[in-house]
Structure 1
Amino acid sequence: MSRRFLKKVVCFLVILLLFMVINNTNLFMKQSAKEPSLLAHRGLAQTFEISNVKNDTCTAEMIHKPEHPFLENTILSMEAAFSKGADLVEFDIKPTKDGQFAVFHDWTLDCRTNVQGTPLDYTMDELKMVDIGYGYTYDNGKTFPFRGKGIGLMPSLDEVLSYFPEKSFLLHIKSNEAKEGEQLARVLATLPEAQLSLLSVYGGDEPIAALKAKLPSLRVMSKETMKSCLIPYILVGWTGYVPDACENTQLHLPEKIAPFLWGWSGKFISRMEKSNTRVIVVAGDGGFSEGFDSANDLERLPANYNGWIWTNRIDTIAPLIQNNKIE
């Protein structure tokens, strides 16, 4: 191998490296005046120490001393979240005995209500009689501040969509049952196109694939859709190319992973938004719905970040964003 040839190879590699750096740096980007958008997880809800949460943890039994009267996944909590500044509210759905969807988080009713079993064991009318505030306590069971106050507060999906026809929501299918995706598709297919465009759905691979097959225009997300977008992007994204699998979807990016993506944050977000894909950054490694919930959390975001932020404390974070606390 000649010295001249080696020199050409080195030159090529240097030029390629410079291209990769310049094409993905944010240093020369025009700063956007757009504020970050806020996703309120479960609306305005009671809080708890998320570092203590495990798969079988009953979070209602470990809440902080209440600072407000709202319970997660209720119309009142969603309304409060929007009034505080949420751009999007996330909520969980579970199928009921009579073929509807109840808005409720837990796999079973045992933890935070006065009945046992799952939502699938009850009709929606029966779930309306359940006290969803029954199990909440902040002092190891000495007091139950919401007991008796949650009767009638568990909404159906139909109620939420009827009450907020012009609001944006992220629906969470908790299971990996394809039939739940098909059931949800039947519900959403009845909505006006304008309202449907305000919704997105995430969940297990099977229900999300079934839902997308029925409603191709709907923005959805699952582990499979994330992988099909991000793996090829990691391979070729340095060129600025966005794979087709990244179009019209949603990405929930843990803050520990996001910085390793080409063009993070400004160029990456711009590329995805041009493909009609929403980029939401979640705290930590993405486990147990960690959010950016304090001023200290916001300091970890990139300078001039203007994507979406996942928060469990919309009441705390919205005022900070409005006062330009991300610099």
Structure 2
Amino acid sequence: MNRRLRRAGAVMGLLTAFISVNNTSLFTTRPPGAPTLLAHRGIAQRFDPTGVGNDTCTASRMLPPTHGYLENTIASMRAGFAAGADIIEADIHPTTDGQFAVFHDWTVDCRTEGKGVTRDHSMAQLKALDIGYGYTADGGKTFPFRGKGIGLMPSLDDVLAAFPDKQLLINIKSNDPEEGKKLSVVLAALPADRRQMLMVYGGDRPIAALRAALPDMRTMSRSSLKACLLRYIGIGWTGIVPDTCRETLVLVPINIAPWLWGWPDRFLDRMEGAGSRVFALGPYSGGDFSTGLDTPELLSRLPVNYSGGIWTNEIETIASTLDAGSGNP
């Protein structure tokens, strides 16, 4: 019995040593580099997030504005890149005339003077709306952007033309597979090297349709992300990268990151070797995944010399904090 116990102990010791050596970042040869910054919706007006749900009109909860940009516009994206973003995220909806509008909300009622579901309008109708109409920071007493947002809702074609050499993350706002098919037609018309600068995420069904049509695109849905993270936590100690983690976006909430084998450098190397991009997020608490690393305090929770991606709603704050620290959290 003692011999069996000693043998079992030796095996466990060897296994523990293997797991430790195979997943430490001490022996990686990953070169140092500044994090890749992803600006969610470009530069946007901030709002009080307390109690916000999927149907909350965030424009009516705007905090006192500190800049003049409205999210998902050419100007806000240009300002985001100028502030230090490497990638801009943009939300899209199909239009009745076969285009894609760049706009966050499912309906136009919150931010504009219009009514109805966004996708039930033509692009011309959407461009005629004032996307600054509904913003207020004082409960409706004043509307500082009213009259200033007419014609500012761009089409996806407008965005691609305005930023031909920039990286973009496109967000499909529905779970309609037809939307994935329509988007695949638009993206298929682009040169292959341009598609490599684009990524797409959204509902499970449109992402599946898009990936079937364009398997070379980096895509992600909620279920694909969950499958990637759970399977990697299960088998990543071996160094094996699950198929669900290949050619995708891997969004990593900062409170889940320590559970990932080899975090940070070994994990980043494995994901990049599988053709995937990693972006650190704010803490996950059962809600959606749009919480960014938006404060210096959250940024400080990243490992020293972290060189993966960072998802943020506050590109100016995060970029300036990184600049002050010579590019490192």
Same fold, judged at TM 0.5 (above) = yes
Alignment of 1:10-29 (within 5 A): 10-29=9-28
The C-alpha deviation readout for 1:165-214, integer Å capped at 9, x for no partner, is 11100000011110000010011111111211100000011000000000
Aligned length: 326
SS of 2:98's equivalent in the other structure is: coil
Residue 314 of structure 2 corresponds to residue 313 of structure 1:
yes
The C-alpha deviation readout for 1:116-161, integer Å capped at 9, x for no partner, is 1012221101111100000001111111010000000000011111
Residue 302 of structure 2 corresponds to residue 301 of structure 1:
yes
Q: Cα RMSD over matched residues?
A: 1.5
Whole-Å Cα distance in 2 between the matches of residues 301 and 148 of structure 1?
A: 41
Contact 2:105 2:118 in 1 (8 A): no
SS of 2:89's equivalent in the other structure is: strand
1:146 aligned residue:
145
Amino acid paired to 1:299: S
The runs of 5 or more residues in structure 2 that have no matched partner are: none
Contact 1:31 1:304 in 2 (8 A): no
SS of 2:21's equivalent in the other structure is: helix
Amino acid paired to 1:38: L
Alignment of 1:204-223 (within 5 A): 204-223=203-222
Residue 268 of structure 2 corresponds to residue 259 of structure 1:
no
Whole-Å Cα distance in 1 between the matches of residues 93 and 272 of structure 2?
A: 30
Alignment of 1:1-327 (within 5 A): 2-29=1-28, 32-285=31-284, 287-288=287-288, 289-324=290-325, 326-327=328-329
Instruction: Give the stretch that moved more between structures: 41-50 or 26-35.
Output: 26-35
Identity within the alignment, %: 53
Query: Which contiguous aligned blocks of 4+ residues in structure 1 show a shift greater than 3 angstroms?
Result: 27-32
SS of 2:280's equivalent in the other structure is: strand
Contact 2:72 2:102 in 1 (8 A): yes
Q: How many Å apart are 1:29 and its aligned residue?
A: 4.1
Contact 1:128 1:152 in 2 (8 A): yes
Whole-Å Cα distance in 2 between the matches of residues 155 and 77 of structure 1?
A: 11
Contact 1:32 1:304 in 2 (8 A): no
Whole-Å Cα distance in 2 between the matches of residues 299 and 189 of structure 1?
A: 40
Amino acid paired to 2:75: L
Q: In 2 relative to 1, CA 222–180 (structure 1 residues): closer, same or farther, beyond 3 Å?
A: same
